[in-house]
Chains A and B, each alone.
Chain A
């Protein structure tokens, strides 16, 4: 069974600094997709970034980038120039694709200090 592990329950970062959120996963599949979702206090689940396992290049979306290490089954999220609005819970998620569920990690609460 696929599992997603986020071992850090909480992290804190100074505004304008960089922070990295860790995620590891376990799968026997070779083709799969990884995501980071943000859940602010409004509880809306917002897609932050996606990574297809077949792509070697790490995904980037503005201030958000990932470090995807397929052999190590690691998928960390780097947030650069942190802003107060980045404070939220962040979930790492995995799917094999068609008709498949998202398997989520337990999430990490990120706080941003002004």
Chain B
């Protein structure tokens, strides 16, 4: 019944490693997002995909590469991890195309706490 799921929920790794976070939504939404929540709890958009097409890339280092194999999945791959990448990463989804007036609320996954040592 989980609407937006992420794996793993916790990820501990060493500097320089490459890691991936997976996200899946079963809400039938057409748009998915990655947000980063830093140590001060500030949330900021990283990427957005609409029907597998990248539509937002918010000045994120190119070590971060999102991939959307279909509109229900959005994965985040991070190369050469750095200490500053330690954060909670949230996946979210919303419906932005449809008949009638939409409200554009975004539904979030449980988050992935990434710790780089």
Answer whether A and B are interacting partners.
yes
Chain B residues whose C-beta falls within 8 Å of the C-beta of A101 in the assembled complex: 33, 45, 48, 56, 58
Q: Are B56 and A95 in contact (CB under 8 A)?
A: no
Segment 63-117 of B: residues with Cβ below 8 Å from A: 88, 90, 92, 96-97, 101-108, 110-111, 113
Q: Are A43 and B111 in contact (CB under 8 A)?
A: yes
Closest residue of chain A to B112 (Cβ to Cβ) is A43
Asked if A11 lies at the interface with its beta carbon under 8 angstroms from chain B, I say no
Closest residue of chain B to A98 (Cβ to Cβ) is B96
Closest residue of chain A to B41 (Cβ to Cβ) is A107
Question: Given B42, B43, B97, B105, which contacts A47 in the complex, CB threshold below 8 Å?
Answer: B105
Q: Are A106 and B42 in contact (CB under 8 A)?
A: yes
Q: Are A50 and B108 also in contact (CB < 8 A) when A98-B96, A99-B55 are? A: no
- Mask, B38-67, CB within 8 Å of A = 1, is 001111110010100001101000000000
Chain A residues whose C-beta falls within 8 Å of the C-beta of B58 in the assembled complex: 101
Q: Are A104 and B104 in contact (CB under 8 A)?
A: no
Question: Given B42, B43, B50, B111, which contacts A99 in the complex, CB threshold below 8 Å?
Answer: B50
Give Cα A89 to B113, complex, Å.
17
Q: Are A45 and B41 in contact (CB under 8 A)?
A: no
The 6 closest A-B pairs by CB, nearest first: A45-B108, A101-B45, A98-B96, A104-B43, A97-B104, A43-B111
What residues make up the interface of B, taking CB atoms closer than 8 Å to A? 31, 33, 35, 40-45, 48, 50, 55-56, 58, 88, 90, 92, 96-97, 101-108, 110-111, 113
Q: List 12 A-B contacts (CB under 8 A).
A: A33-B105, A43-B88, A43-B111, A45-B111, A47-B105, A52-B103, A99-B31, A99-B48, A99-B50, A99-B55, A100-B104, A102-B43
